């Protein structure tokens, strides 16, 4: 009778284990999501991209400011010149200023100097600067949407890892209870076999059942630890310090409000918001490309001064008079200024601007098609989530019936074995069925939460899931 009581007590072990206080405070899921958002490297990477985009907007706004340049130079050079024209050729030709020598070239050198301070302000450019700022602001909005989407995706991954840790720990507890049942069964059979009441094969079957139960327990513990390592990666916490809180999950089932497919996929989904931001940026890039060939009207103002070691007067033979001293060449002798509007228009750039606009336009169309593909995929995932929740709820009801029947069968088989009306094979089968029913029940309950998490991932709202946790 004591052995029978011991058997029956093992049935309540999983519930008793869950009722015992944990060694340390459990880690709430809300805390897991906050840690993931604060510590995961990919989220930090998206944040850095957002910070860079903010400075890109400031840089584009600086294009409104005039360009102010100062330059100064002191050169030691010859002064041989000829009459005629030359083309600067993008600055590669060096201009020489001064009168023409009446004699041949010489190697006489002297100091010359010059300085310039000018301001060039493009005060009218047909909206090119404004369009450039808008593209930069679109990039900023895209980076913000990318950050929000990354946070959401990683939090979904963290919630999934949390659920998998929870269900695998639950399975490990059920397997531990199964090990205890098998060990009690082995002690009973060993005692009866040694007294001659049962054949020796019963003891061998009991030994095999204990070994099988320990193998299943090891596998469950390995799976739980694997998922705990995944959760540690996402949160930055040591795996040994992660203790999940099962109170809000296995003591209740989620009850999603509304009809199936209620709260479908909206453009507010973080993934779609990022795609929409990319489309808007590409559309504004088309406008910028179309404006790129138009001229700008600029206001130019400059002051400049020159100094030279060559005297303004000439020698008696008409040659140049050189003053070799450094100060003779560096000190300024002439000062000038100028101011006025200027423009520069590369007319043939219209062809390149047209091709750039066409390229940007087709890229924009490509992004719009990608957006539609993502929307269709999320709508499908939303419908799959509804199916998962519906079938998972049915599975829980079936698992409840299966577990109740398995426990009743186990109790009956145990009583028959104690009375000598059943053999060890029948009892072993009842133990196996009970173990499978306990595992199926744990998986079925976890399936309802995983279905709700899929719903949250498809609709883009983690609150859909979090609102059902713990209450």
Task: Give residue-wise pLDDT tens across range 162-172.
Answer: 999 988 988 99
Share of the chain above pLDDT 90, in %: 47
Q: Give the angle subtended at the CA of 42 by the CAs of 37 and 46, to the nearest 5°.
A: 85
Say if CB 418 and CB 4 are below 8 A apart: yes
pLDDT score for 7:
42
> Could you give the count of Cα atoms lying within 13 Å of 279 in the half-sphere of its Cβ?
16
Structure tokens at 229: 């390592």
Can you tell me which residue has the tokens 């003891």? 203
Q: Quick count: other Cβ atoms within 10 Å of Cβ 161?
A: 24
Closest Cα partner for 263 from 107, 382, 123, 104?
Answer: 382
Say if CB 465 and CB 455 are below 8 A apart: yes
Closest Cα partner for 139 from 260, 35, 52?
Answer: 52
pLDDT score for 365:
94
Q: Higher model confidence: residue 155 or residue 325? A: 155
Residue 160 has pLDDT above 90, yes or no: yes
Structure tokens at 63: 């294009």
| Mean per-residue pLDDT of the chain | 84
CA 293 to chain centre: 37
Closest Cα partner for 310 from 336, 297, 329, 289?
Answer: 329
Q: Quick count: other Cβ atoms within 10 Å of Cβ 306?
A: 15
Q: Kindly indicate the confidence band of residue 194, based on its pLDDT and cuts at 50, 70 and 90.
A: low
For 220, residues 6+ apart whose C-beta sits below 8 A from its C-beta are 168, 171, 172, 174, 175
Q: Quick count: other Cβ atoms within 10 Å of Cβ 122?
A: 21
Can you tell me which residue has the tokens 């990666």? 233
**Partner residues linked to 227 by β-bridges:** none
Residue 264 has pLDDT above 80, yes or no: no
Residue 44 has pLDDT above 90, yes or no: yes
Q: Kindly indicate the confidence band of residue 58, based on its pLDDT and cuts at 50, 70 and 90.
A: very high
CATH 1.20.1600.10 maps onto the chain at 2-39+129-287+352-466
User: How deeply is 300 buried, as exposed, middle or buried, from its count of CB atoms within 10 A (0-12, 13-18, 19+)?
Assistant: middle
**What would the pLDDT profile of 104-154 be if each residue is shown by its tens digit?**
677 888 899 999 999 999 989 999 999 999 999 999 999 999 999 999 999
Residue 283 has pLDDT above 80, yes or no: yes
For 111, residues 6+ apart whose C-beta sits below 8 A from its C-beta are 74, 75, 76, 307, 308, 309, 325, 326, 328, 329, 330
- Give the separation between CA 400 and CA 404, rounded to whole angstroms: 6
pTM attached to this predicted model: 0.81
Average pLDDT over residues 227-237: 89
Closest Cα partner for 181 from 13, 412, 48, 422?
Answer: 13
**What would the pLDDT profile of 325-361 be if each residue is shown by its tens digit?**
889 888 999 999 999 999 989 888 889 999 999 999 9
pLDDT score for 277:
95
- Give the separation between CA 34 and CA 48, rounded to whole angstroms: 19
Average pLDDT over residues 17-41: 74
Q: Kindly indicate the confidence band of residue 19, based on its pLDDT and cuts at 50, 70 and 90.
A: very low
Can you tell me which residue has the tokens 């061998």? 204
Distance spanning both ends of the chain, measured CA to CA: 43
Contacts 24+ apart (CB under 8 A), 52-59: 52/143, 53/136, 53/139, 53/140, 53/142, 53/143, 53/144, 54/140, 56/136, 56/139, 56/140, 57/133, 57/136, 57/137, 57/139, 57/140, 59/136
The full DSSP string for 6-30 is HHHHHTTHHHHHHHSPPSS--B-HH
Average pLDDT over residues 437-452: 91
- Give the separation between CA 433 and CA 178, rounded to whole angstroms: 11
Residue 431 has pLDDT above 50, yes or no: yes
Residue 285 has pLDDT above 80, yes or no: yes
DSSP class of residue 244 equals: B
Strand 67-77 relative to strand 334-344, pairing: unpaired
For 249, residues 6+ apart whose C-beta sits below 8 A from its C-beta are 163, 166, 445, 446, 449, 469
Say if CB 468 and CB 406 are below 8 A apart: no
Q: Kindly indicate the confidence band of residue 100, based on its pLDDT and cuts at 50, 70 and 90.
A: low
Q: Is 308 helix (H, G, I), strand (E, B) or coil?
A: strand
Closest Cα partner for 59 from 165, 139, 3, 154?
Answer: 139
CATH topology for 2-39+129-287+352-466 is: Outer membrane efflux proteins (OEP) (1.20.1600)
């Amino acid at each position: 009778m004591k052995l029978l009581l011991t058997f029956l007590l093992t049935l309540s072990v999983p519930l008793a284990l869950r009722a015992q206080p944990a060694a340390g405070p459990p880690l709430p899921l809300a805390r897991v999501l906050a840690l993931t958002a604060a510590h995961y490297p990919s989220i930090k990477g998206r944040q850095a991209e957002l910070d860079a985009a903010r400075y890109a907007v400031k840089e584009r706004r600086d294009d409104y400011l005039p360009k102010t340049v100062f330059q100064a130079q002191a050169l030691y050079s010859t002064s041989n010149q000829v009459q005629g024209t030359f083309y600067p050729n993008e600055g590669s030709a060096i201009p020489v200023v001064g009168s023409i020598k009446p004699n041949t070239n010489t190697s006489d050198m002297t100091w010359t100097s010059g300085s310039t301070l000018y301001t060039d302000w493009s005060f009218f450019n047909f909206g090119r600067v404004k369009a450039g700022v808008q593209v930069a602001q679109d990039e900023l909005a895209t980076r913000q949407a990318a950050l929000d989407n990354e946070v959401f995706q990683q939090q979904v991954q963290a919630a999934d890892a949390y659920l998998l840790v929870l269900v695998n720990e639950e399975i490990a507890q059920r397997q531990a209870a199964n090990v205890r049942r098998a060990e009690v069964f082995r002690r009973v059979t060993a005692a009866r076999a040694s007294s001659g009441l049962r054949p020796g094969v019963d003891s061998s079957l009991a030994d095999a059942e204990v070994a099988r139960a320990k193998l299943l327990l090891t596998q469950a513990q390995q799976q739980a630890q694997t998922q705990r390592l995944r959760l540690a990666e996402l949160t930055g916490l040591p795996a040994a310090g992660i203790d999940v809180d099962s109170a809000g999950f296995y003591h209740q089932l989620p009850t999603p409000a509304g009809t199936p497919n209620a709260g479908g996929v909206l453009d507010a989904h973080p993934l779609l918001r990022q795609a929409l931001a990319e489309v808007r940026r590409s559309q504004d890039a088309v406008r910028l490309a179309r404006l790129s060939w138009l001229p700008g009207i600029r206001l130019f103002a400059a002051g400049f001064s020159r100094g030279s070691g060559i005297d303004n007067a000439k020698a008696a033979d008409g040659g140049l008079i050189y003053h070799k001293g450094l100060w003779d060449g560096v000190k300024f002798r002439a000062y000038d200024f100028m101011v006025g509007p200027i423009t520069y228009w590369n007319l043939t750039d219209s062809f390149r601007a047209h091709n750039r606009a066409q390229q940007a336009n087709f890229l924009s169309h490509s992004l719009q098609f990608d957006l539609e593909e993502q929307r269709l995929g999320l709508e499908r995932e939303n419908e799959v989530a509804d199916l998962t929740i519906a079938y998972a709820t049915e599975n829980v009801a079936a698992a409840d019936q299966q577990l109740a029947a398995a426990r009743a069968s186990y109790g009956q088989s145990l009583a028959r074995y104690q009375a000598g009306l059943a053999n060890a094979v029948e009892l072993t089968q009842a133990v196996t069925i009970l173990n499978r029913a306990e595992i199926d029940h744990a998986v079925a309950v976890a399936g309802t939460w995983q279905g709700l998490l899929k719903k949250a991932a498809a609709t883009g709202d983690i609150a859909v899931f979090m609102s059902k946790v713990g209450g």
